[in-house]
Each structure stands twice: as structure tokens, then as C-alpha cells.
Chain A
Amino acid sequence: MELLIQFGFFLALLIVGLVAGSAAERRHFRRLQQDEAALREILVFNERHLPQDRSFVHGTLVSGSVVIGEDYFKRIAASLKSIFGGRLTAYESLMDRGRREAIVRMKRQAQAQGATMVFNVRFETSSLSESVAGRQASFSAEFIAYGTAVIPAPA
């Protein structure tokens, strides 16, 4: 009986994670697509040097950061997959969402500065989860993208 109750809770959490998690993911991807389309005129490069054939009046550091957490289903699916090995597809989408969102936010900051291009763009990812007393905390990661936004000289 006790086992059944435990299993019921587990199953309920799993279903909540699956339903709510994949709905949130779908929504996020849809919004990312819209945001990326809206910010297309801000160009981003990881080139370290500014182009010599045009002039800029100003350069400034811009950054965008986001923290994305997993859902219960992803967590169980990933730990199950870790037994057998292979690509953790459950986390691949999460990481992709994080990177794209960080770029979107960085571009938005650049746009607010009046910049049209961001050079020397770098990504950093850090896991926020910490295991507490041997128990694996739920996984979440911070994604930060930063670069040098340049404001073009008036033509």
C-alpha cells in the first residue's frame, strides 16, 4: 500500500512534469522565434576585431542572461538515460532554449543602446544545481551571452 502511494506520487509528478514542462517548452520556442525575427537587424558575431571599412562612434558591453530549470519528467528521463548512455535529448532542448534566450536578451540590450552590431560575442553556461546531502538537487543552468555592441556613426 505504502509502495503504491509512493508510486502514485511519483507518477503524478512525472505526468505534471511532462505536461507542464513540454507546454512551457513549446511556448518558449514559439516566443523565441518571434523575438529572433523582431531582432534580426541586430547582427551578432564572435569576431574579435571591428571591421575597418566602417566607422563606429561608440562601443559598449552588452549581456543577456537567463536561468532555465528542468521539469520532473526531464530529470527522471535524463537519469534513466544516464544508465544506458547516449544523447540526453531531454536536456538538449533545454540548453538550446537557454542559449537562444540569452542572445535575444543581449540583442535587446544592444538595441536599447542604439547599436546595430555586437562583436566578440561569448557564451557561458553554469549549472546552478548543487547536490545537498547526497541528494541530487534539480538541475538548472544559467546561460549568459555577452559582447561588444557598437553604435554606427551617422551616415
Chain B
Amino acid sequence: MSYENPQLPHEVNVGREPVLLEFLQLTAGLAVVVVILSATLYFAGGQLARLIPFAQEQAWVGTRFVPGIDTDDSAQSPEASAIRDALQALSTRLSAQMALPPEMTLQLHYLDDDSPNAFASLGGHIAVTSGLYRRLDSENALAMVLAHEIAHIHARDPISGLGGSASMLVALTLLTGNAAHLSGAFATLVQRGYSRRAETAADSAAILALQKLYGHAGGGAAVFETFARYRNEHLGEAPSLLSTHPLDAERIARLQAAAADWDPQRQPLRPLLPAPAAAAIH
């Protein structure tokens, strides 16, 4: 009997497919699946969250409207308190024009922050920063800001955003197991703003409210001019890729179109009262 070990091809035991190519293909496939899943969950969760009664939302939130920001308005200076009261009064007039249901009560806050910003939060809280207030030149511009934020609350955008992020976060945590920190970071990335459509809808509602309250939509464009100017000056601070606000130029054009029939001579803009401290104006 003869014994031998002929040279056998070892390649039969080893896959010769390019491993890197397969890896990239699988990564792309998985990314598509995760994005579709996240978008579906975000949308579905957001729609479901809108069904939560507003009173329930308010009961959950109470007075803590944004973590990390001092919401104790009573500790503010007399000037800030006066401005806060003025914001509250103007928002009451606006919500009457916007047919806000009576149970949707608003709570206005005046935040000491130099960057121009305003936002609506859960539970009917709306905040305007001092940086924005002192950059505005008329009550009409302030009304545009407030009406926009009231429109968000009316459309239940804050709770919808929370519901969407929460359901997505739960799903991603289940999917990635212990990588909860990863999905948290992912969720905050998504939570950066409302959808483009929600912003445009809020703009439309705000323009309508302005027209009802003042008879024209003049002065509203100044708000977005302010934001645009600030962004140009501080380029890099606000990454425009992550911003979901419709492009400033687009919004300014829309507002100017809405205010086309406005006659500044016959319908002068109302002064901003109380006036922001003169020294603070740059």
C-alpha cells in the first residue's frame, strides 16, 4: 500500500470574496434599514404623542420647562419682569386671533441670554431671550416671533418631537443593546428642531395671526433678518446643516410677499414696549 500526501488546494477552506467590499455593502444596507426604521418610529411616535391631552402634557411638565435654565421668573429684575408681563399680554392677544383652545394656556419666559433665540417647549412654555428682544425693532416683529411659537404649541409640535425621539430612542436602545449612550447622542442629533414642514406651517399661521391683529404682516421679516445677520456674524456657531429652520432668505421672501400690500405710512409699526434698555442695544 502506498502512502502519500499530495498537495491539496487550501483555498477551498477560505472564502476568496473581498471582505472589505462585503463589509461596506452590509454597512450601507444596515444604515438604510436603521434610517427607515428610525424615520418610521419618529413619525409614528410623533403622531401618537399628539393624541396626549394638552392638560396631561402640562401636568407632566409643570413649571420645569427646560432643564438647566432657571425658570424662577419671580427672581428677575423689575425690567425683566415688565418685559415678561408684556410678552404674556401680547401672547394672550395673539392666541385669541389664532383660535387657540382655551385649555391651552401659555406661560411666557424672558431669558437672560445674549444670543437671539425664541422657542416653544412642552406644557405651553414659550421663552424669548434678551438677545432677541433687544434686537427687535417693533412690536410687530415680536408678535411674529410669539405667533410662530404659539403656532408650534397649537400644532403640538413640542410633544410630537418628544414622542418621536422617545420611541426612536427605545427602539435603538433595544437594537444596540448596551450602547444606550450611542442612541442617546443620536436622538439629540435628531431632536435639534422641528421638521421643515412644521416650521413652514408655523410661519403661515404666524403671518395669518399678524394680519388679523394688525391688519397687515409688515415688520415680521425683520425677525428673520435679525437671525440671518446674527448667523452671518457668528458663522460656525450655528451649523446650518443641522438647522431645520427654512432658509432665512426663503422666509424673508415669504414674509415680504405676505406684507406686499402693507403701507408703512398709513399703517406704522408699533413701538416695542417696554423698550429694551438703550445701553444694551448694539
Segment at the interface with B among A59-67, A78-86, A122-130, A137-145:
A78-86
Task: Please determine whether A87 and B15 come into contact, CB atoms closer than 8 angstroms.
Answer: yes
B3 shortest CB reach to chain A, Å: 6
Give me the 6 closest cross-chain CB pairs, A-B, nearest first: A89-B15, A3-B185, A96-B13, A77-B23, A93-B14, A96-B14
Interface centre among B5, B7, B19, B27 (most CB of A within 10 A): B19
Interface centre among A44, A84, A134 (most CB of B within 10 A): A84
Task: Please determine whether B4 and A93 come into contact, CB atoms closer than 8 angstroms.
Answer: no
Residues of chain B lying within 8 A (CB to CB) of residue A90:
19
Whether a CB of chain A sits under 8 angstroms from the CB of B265 is no
Whether a CB of chain B sits under 8 angstroms from the CB of A108 is no
A44 to B15, CA, bound (A): 25
Q: Which residues of A contact B (CB under 8 A)?
A: 2-3, 6, 18, 22, 40, 43-45, 51, 53, 73, 76-77, 80-81, 83-84, 87, 89-90, 92-93, 95-96, 99-100, 117, 134-135
Task: Please determine whether B17 and A89 come into contact, CB atoms closer than 8 angstroms.
Answer: yes
Whether a CB of chain A sits under 8 angstroms from the CB of B182 is yes
Taking A80-B27, A89-B15, A92-B15 as contacts, is the C-beta distance between A43 and B3 under 8 angstroms?
Answer: yes
A22 to B3, CA, bound (A): 36
B17 shortest CB reach to chain A, Å: 6
Which of A18, A81, A100, A117 is in CB contact (< 8 Å) with B10?
A: A100
Task: Please determine whether B5 and A53 come into contact, CB atoms closer than 8 angstroms.
Answer: no
A92 to B26, CA, bound (A): 18
Task: Please determine whether A3 and B189 come into contact, CB atoms closer than 8 angstroms.
Answer: yes
A75 to B171, CA, bound (A): 24
Task: Please determine whether A43 and B30 come into contact, CB atoms closer than 8 angstroms.
Answer: no
Give 5 pairs: A residue, B residue, CB < 8 Å, sorted on A. Answer: A3-B182, A6-B185, A40-B5, A51-B3, A76-B23
By secondary structure, the A interface counts as helix
A135 to B1, CA, bound (A): 54
Residues of chain B lying within 8 A (CB to CB) of residue A100:
10
Task: Please determine whether B3 and A84 come into contact, CB atoms closer than 8 angstroms.
Answer: no
Whether a CB of chain A sits under 8 angstroms from the CB of B178 is yes
Residues of chain B lying within 8 A (CB to CB) of residue A135:
178
Task: Please determine whether B23 and A80 come into contact, CB atoms closer than 8 angstroms.
Answer: yes
Task: Please determine whether B4 and A43 come into contact, CB atoms closer than 8 angstroms.
Answer: yes
Contact with A along B68-112 (1 / 0, CB 8 A): 000000000000000000000000000000000000000000000
Which of A44, A51, A76, A92 is in CB contact (< 8 Å) with B5?
A: A44
A100 to B5, CA, bound (A): 14
A95 to B10, CA, bound (A): 12
A95 to B13, CA, bound (A): 9
A69 shortest CB reach to chain B, Å: 17
Task: Please determine whether A89 and B182 come into contact, CB atoms closer than 8 angstroms.
Answer: no
Interface centre among B27, B29, B185, B186 (most CB of A within 10 A): B185
Q: Which residue of A lies closest to B186 (CB)?
A: A3
Residues of chain A lying within 8 A (CB to CB) of residue B185:
2-3, 6
Q: Which residue of B lies closest to A22 (CB)?
A: B19
Task: Please determine whether A43 and B5 come into contact, CB atoms closer than 8 angstroms.
Answer: yes
Residues of chain A lying within 8 A (CB to CB) of residue B182:
3, 6
Residues of chain B lying within 8 A (CB to CB) of residue A80:
23, 26-27, 30
